[in-house]
Structure 1
């Protein structure tokens, strides 16, 4: 959609590189991490074919097997399960490009415009693990569960593009298909840049909603359309993969890949150093780069780059207190984002600045700070109190009293258990609330996805959560429109219309302008407050080649079939 400016890659950093590799400048011994390498080729190298086992440390257990739902679209779960679920387009680590999955497809291209028409051809070698050919039925299934007119109760997190489809036409042999949009669609590659599922299996488990919402979410897949298939699973402990015997791409190298749950992020470096795990994408924590740098003797390297994930506070607009925009504005006016950034991520990377946009990231063309117009995040307590007074609030001692005469009750700020940075974020928010007489308590959750969707009886008032940016800015923004999977409570016609205008734009430049209009309206709703962009960190044993960060929807395992053990390791 838009071109990203070059991402700055610390990739260990030149000084730390020498310490970690044990080599002098210019040496190129086995396992040496090159700081100057492109994000798309970082840690590239030859591997031993068909041998090796790797354990990946993750901090969150799998709560849903369906990575296309809000509950299942969790970074750790997607890293594991996207090794089973194929996709047409693969986001590359630079966050700037997509590549066609040539294992799955032979062709995907626009054949005409006004409206946009795209033709797809599936590789004749592509099959599911039961031997059934991957066909147009599988793509049509994803289209159907993604379109509210066809399946209004399907709980998919991102319908972007699919509701703009006018016709889906499959060839008689189902080896190819054509998609005709209702109008021009600027981000047409977004349509199948996410996982597809086996329609022939889904049909055996009820209608669209039943198969997608229940069967696919609750049932561990015994099938695969990717390079690996599940070998074993211990709930809350680990998930182990083995090579898919029906894999239609180049043979994989690793013969066993285990995703091991280590819920306390602080234990990740210890697990790396003692060999319990080989790879991890730890949440940025204070002193983490220094800690990882100290693991040189354990042959551990790491890569750090500016990521597309951004931290935020998300508000529950169904809460009686937070329904009042004056309260929301006041709390976020009293909050000092510069102080929050300095006390949290700033201790990892002092160059990180507060983020002023929800839909466009710092490194993307068209970025504008929309929070400054409302003066959000400036730590202005007196200004915040003025907002509340003007809205009819008063104080009884230090307690804030609502216009109805009742004191503001205890509110909660939910964060993922074991995530120290988010704990600190919630505590800083609590301090800002206390200055206004609004009590906010930090509480933990073991499943942020379930909490944000208020599943299993969970709820929240504020949540410290991350969202992922994308080079496909228009369609990525679609998730914030009314009724979408990531829009939990907000309704705003200006947001909806702005994003619709962006999607239908005839050029990327027009799309960015329209997205910024919608973004400004969403910031004004004070439903989500962007905080900062997370540094992306990947730590790995240096005997492994081709493991690298990918801070896009494709994730860490986007190229897992290329992972392997370096010769001589």
Structure 2
């Protein structure tokens, strides 16, 4: 018998000058004396589900924290912990020897694990989540547009026996990260209820009807929950309100009566709202030196800053008639000065920033290889960029880049409207002007839609990573990936991406992942800038609240354990 996970005990300060963390201080509608916390999510979530390309943002994941059940996750110290509230036992690797049959593993859910309507969680929930996570070519779901299909596409057969689901992979395939299929870092952020499809009149084994259920999950505010909290009110434009799930079966019961999560993109309002007790913390996805400086001066606040799992990068829409030329892309990346961008944004508050020279592995990884230092990409070398252009037949007429008598561009340069990205795109605009490339800056408050509709020429945004890596190349760059927003297609990279995701060992997966990175660099499709420092702040009266830079859930990774000091 495995013990259920114990509560993570963190130190909490005593007296706080911040307004008491109750409904009357948080702007909610609760009764006096109730424990209520208001936690900011710093952008709009684009969907109610996390599987789709539009829903695959940290904002959706954090909005759903405490609602979607999962089988485990990495802790802040980078150790992995199975969720023994949800699992009856640790997942089992049944077979990893290809000479003895297909690669096979199983998950068994806890006997007392139930959804918020009292329906038992079963292996069918895992099977259906896997089917919705797969690509349409697998035949499970006609219209599912999963943002990461590698793991699900490997599955050949699923056997469900009550609380247990056993997965057999296709002949010759292996999954070095199989344990993550339904954990907090998976494409779904956990797993979804299968029984609701039948209640809505859909047959999950009919590909068209499963697609309808998938759409419903992403478009409909969940009244269901498999975690310690459930969403009781809210929308995708303003906020969500969470209250304890009365059917929660975990060892640690929710200590808060209510959690309000407003969506606030105006980082200039964070500090005044925090000082006034209107909000009680946040783990913004974007760095803000101004906010950090002000929070540091407060006596009754917890603040941490560290290299996060979100890495900023510049992507190119290769379906633009001009940017389809790899030589132009190389010149663009050569003209961009990554160090100037990073220094302008982070030098004062986080001087230990490090330029990212590998799209998949950090410099502290055993699999790290530097793929950029031997190139000119990201160096801001204007003369080298001009040489590339000249050799490719481009000409500068005054301050304008021309090809065959026609102006190259202008290009739409886009990002979300944050201080960091505003600084970045303005610098990029000036840097590209040095080689005669004109850009028009356009900001967006809906990153998911902008990317999904390929509504850009050049874009800066961030990918949220995790300690898992085997399927990253597939998600980022495979020609059939819905997260390959810029339309890049290369058979060699597809092969490396597929080989990484289906490798028999992590060493083999890393070798292929690095080969994919090298090929992407040669095609000048994505230019990594830096692993952006992340900051977290919270009232000292909050208990068991800390940042988790290993997870897209960030501080909400253990939301069921949050409390307020008496």
TM-score by length of 2: 0.87
The aligned residue for residue 406 of structure 1 is 406
Could you tell me how far 1:28 is from its partner in structure 2?
8.9
Aligned mate of 2:144, from 154, 159, 166: 154
Aligned mate of 2:481, from 477, 481, 484: 484
The aligned residue for residue 451 of structure 2 is 452
1:98 lines up with 2:88 in the alignment? no
| Structure 2 unaligned blocks of 5 or more | 1-10, 17-32, 184-188, 203-208
Could you tell me how far 1:147 is from its partner in structure 2?
2.3
For residues 479-509 of structure 1, the C-alpha deviation after alignment (integer angstroms, 9 at most, x for no partner) is 1222123212111222222233333333322
1:62 lines up with 2:60 in the alignment? no
Task: Give 3-state SS (helix, strand or coil) of 1:158's partner.
Answer: coil
Aligned mate of 1:545, from 537, 543, 546: 543
C-alpha change, 1:152 and 1:376, in structure 2 (3 Å) is: farther
Number of residue pairs matched? 513
The aligned residue for residue 85 of structure 1 is 68
Aligned mate of 1:284, from 284, 287, 311: 287
For residues 194-235 of structure 1, the C-alpha deviation after alignment (integer angstroms, 9 at most, x for no partner) is 3211112134265122221x2122111111111111121155
1:498 lines up with 2:496 in the alignment? yes
The aligned residue for residue 39 of structure 1 is none
Could you tell me how far 1:547 is from its partner in structure 2?
0.9
C-alpha change, 1:152 and 1:315, in structure 2 (3 Å) is: farther
For residues 293-334 of structure 1, the C-alpha deviation after alignment (integer angstroms, 9 at most, x for no partner) is 1122xx111122221110111211221121111111111101
The aligned residue for residue 259 of structure 2 is 257
8 A contact 1:423–1:442 mirrored in 2: no
RMSD: 2.0
Task: Give 3-state SS (helix, strand or coil) of 1:161's partner.
Answer: helix
Could you tell me how far 1:83 is from its partner in structure 2?
1.9
Task: Give 3-state SS (helix, strand or coil) of 2:407's partner.
Answer: coil
Map residues 59-458 of structure 1 onto 2, 5 A cutoff: 59-94=42-77, 96-107=78-89, 108-114=91-97, 115-148=102-135, 149-150=138-139, 151=141, 153-171=143-161, 174-182=162-170, 183-193=173-183, 194-203=189-198, 204=200, 206=202, 207-212=209-214, 214-249=215-250, 250-282=252-284, 283-296=286-299, 299-403=300-404, 405-417=405-417, 419-454=418-453
| Structure 1 unaligned blocks of 5 or more | 1-26, 33-49
Could you tell me how far 1:152 is from its partner in structure 2?
5.0
Could you tell me how far 1:528 is from its partner in structure 2?
1.2
The aligned residue for residue 23 of structure 2 is none
8 A contact 1:51–1:565 mirrored in 2: no
The aligned residue for residue 530 of structure 2 is 532
For residues 498-543 of structure 1, the C-alpha deviation after alignment (integer angstroms, 9 at most, x for no partner) is 2333333333223222211111112222221100011121100000
C-alpha change, 1:63 and 1:502, in structure 2 (3 Å) is: closer
Could you tell me how far 1:475 is from its partner in structure 2?
2.3
Map residues 25-44 of structure 1 onto 2, 5 A cutoff: 30=14
For residues 90-144 of structure 1, the C-alpha deviation after alignment (integer angstroms, 9 at most, x for no partner) is 22223x3332111111121212212431121111111111111111111111111
C-alpha change, 1:439 and 1:205, in structure 2 (3 Å) is: farther
TM-score by length of 1: 0.86
